[in-house]
């Protein structure tokens, strides 16, 4: 067990903010995690995976535990499915590529999402017509209170739109160690969302495959979203807000063409690093709550491409706040606050930050 002191976290989160942790330790399995916690039973703690959904606004005066539980293993098979158990510290896209190489279907639409596997059930990540809950089998998590290993089924996780039990009832109580996914031997292709069909046509694809869809998604995402390795960001910074049918009727009358969709018909927009704001303008049940496209609201307020110092709003996606090099977390947070206030003033709609603020 090695505990480092006064360690920079700049390289450990995708915003690339130059902050320090008072202490940093890594764990590779249940035993090493238990050993660290036994040595440091009290105090301020933070579990860190890929750091793709977090904004540090100050140094962390406590112990950061970096999840490095690795491994990708097929644990069961049947006529229809292959069950793969993945360490929570594994890179998400690496796991997706593993499935693509085996021609297993279910996660191809989730290609190129940054972050680690452990974050996928916490966020119920989704993109381009698919959510994690559709391929989720179970996970194992370490209880920080009693040190017990607990299994969570699909129902136990209480998945919702970018939500799970780990962000609500069980928040800060568990450390996810591994996740088991159920992949299809005979893939069911989903190409109807966004620009996937157009991209496949541009690529000259005649015969659909999980690799072709994955490649198309990678092309689309790369053309619209900043690479965290080049420009610091945490993907979509805000959630898409839900308003009542009556509120939407007033908003759409005042702002013709406002994109929205019935809240119960999720378009599976990505929140770890996706294309929120591309919701279609559809007509739903007259009494149904409607979900608005946060990116569109922000863009209408004139923020797209805005930059102040090294803190800014991405030029191609207004939902993504960026660090162009040396922005502080406070500068990015303050920018997000200005955006919140401007959207509230113009539309009367309250946005909610999706990124965790530390």
Res. 168 pLDDT band, cuts 50 70 90: confident
The answer to whether 36 touches 25, Cβ cutoff 8 Å, is: yes
Of 306 and 288, the one with more pLDDT: 306
Tell me the two tokens of residue 315: 């030029």
- What is the arrangement of strands in the sheet containing 307-308, beginning at the earlier edge strand? 232-236, 320-323, 311-313, 307-308
Q: Which of 251-255, 279-283, 317-321, 323-327 has the lowest mean pLDDT?
A: 279-283
Query: Who contacts 176 (Cβ-Cβ below 8 Å, separation ≥6)?
Result: 67, 88, 118, 121, 122, 139, 140, 141, 166
Q: Directed axis angle between helix 92-101 and helix 210-224, to 10°?
A: 150
Q: What's the whole-model pTM score?
A: 0.82
Q: Which residue has the tokens 């610091």?
A: 232
Q: How long is the chain?
A: 358
Query: Who contacts 5 (Cβ-Cβ below 8 Å, separation ≥6)?
Result: 22, 23, 24
Res. 267 pLDDT band, cuts 50 70 90: very low
Catalytic residues: 162, 236, 354
Residue 4, Cβ neighbours under 10 Å: how many? 12
Query: Residue 143 is inside which H or E element, if any?
Result: strand 136-143
The answer to whether 137 touches 82, Cβ cutoff 8 Å, is: no
Q: Is the pLDDT of residue 273 over 50?
A: no
Mind listing the pLDDT tens digit for each residue in 38-74? 888 777 888 888 888 899 999 999 999 999 999 999 9
Q: Which residues are registered as beta bridge partners of 20?
A: 8
Label residue 17 exposed, middle or buried (CB < 10 Å: 0-12, 13-18, 19+). Answer: buried
Mind listing the pLDDT tens digit for each residue in 330-355? 999 999 999 999 999 999 999 999 88
- What is the arrangement of strands in the sheet containing 149-153, beginning at the earlier edge strand? 72-77, 81-87, 174-184, 136-143, 149-153
Mind listing the pLDDT tens digit for each residue in 89-121? 999 999 999 999 999 999 999 999 988 999 999
SS3 299: helix
Tell me the two tokens of residue 5: 């002191």
Q: How far apart are CA 326 and CA 133, in angstroms?
A: 37
Instruction: List the domains of the chain with CATH numbers.
Output: 4-67 (3.30.43.10), 72-184 (3.30.465.10), 232-357 (3.90.78.10)
CA angle 224, 87, 210 (to 5 degrees): 45
Mean pLDDT of 271-284: 35
């Amino acid at each position: 067990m090695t505990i480092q002191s006064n360690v920079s976290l700049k390289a450990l989160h995708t915003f690339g903010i130059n902050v320090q942790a008072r202490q940093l330790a890594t764990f590779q399995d249940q035993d090493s995690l238990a050993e660290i916690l036994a040595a440091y039973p009290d105090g301020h703690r933070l579990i860190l995976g890929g750091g793709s959904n977090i904004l540090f606004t100050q140094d962390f005066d406590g112990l950061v535990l970096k999840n490095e539980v690795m491994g990708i293993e097929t644990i069961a098979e049947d006529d229809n499915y292959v069950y793969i158990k993945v360490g929570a510290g594994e890179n998400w896209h690496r796991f997706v590529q593993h499935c693509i190489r085996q021609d297993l279907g279910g996660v191809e639409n989730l290609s190129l999402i940054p972050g680690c596997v452990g974050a996928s059930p916490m966020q119920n990540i989704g993109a381009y017509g698919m959510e994690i809950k559709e391929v989720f089998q179970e996970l194992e998590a370490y209880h920080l209170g009693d040190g017990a290993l607990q299994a969570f089924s699909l129902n136990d996780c209480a998945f919702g739109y970018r939500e799970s039990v780990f962000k609500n009832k069980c928040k800060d109580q568990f450390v996810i160690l591994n996740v088991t996914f159920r992949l299809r031997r005979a893939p069911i292709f989903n190409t109807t969302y966004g620009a996937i069909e157009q991209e496949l046509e541009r690529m000259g694809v005649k015969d659909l495959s999980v690799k072709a869809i994955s490649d198309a998604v990678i092309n689309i995402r790369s053309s619209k979203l900043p690479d965290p390795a080049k420009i610091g960001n945490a993907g979509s910074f805000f959630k898409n807000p839900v308003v009542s049918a009556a509120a939407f009727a007033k908003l759409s009358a005042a702002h013709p063409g406002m994109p929205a969709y019935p809240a119960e018909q999720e378009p599976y927009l990505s929140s770890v690093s996706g294309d929120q704001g591309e919701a279609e303008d559809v007509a739903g049940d007259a009494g149904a709550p409607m979900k608005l496209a946060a990116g569109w609201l922000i863009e209408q307020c004139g923020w797209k491409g805005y930059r102040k110092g090294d803190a800014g709003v991405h030029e191609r996606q207004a939902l993504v706040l960026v660090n162009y090099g040396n922005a502080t977390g406070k500068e990015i947070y303050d920018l997000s606050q200005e955006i919140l206030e401007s959207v509230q003033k113009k539309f009367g709609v309250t946005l909610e930050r999706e990124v965790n603020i530390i």
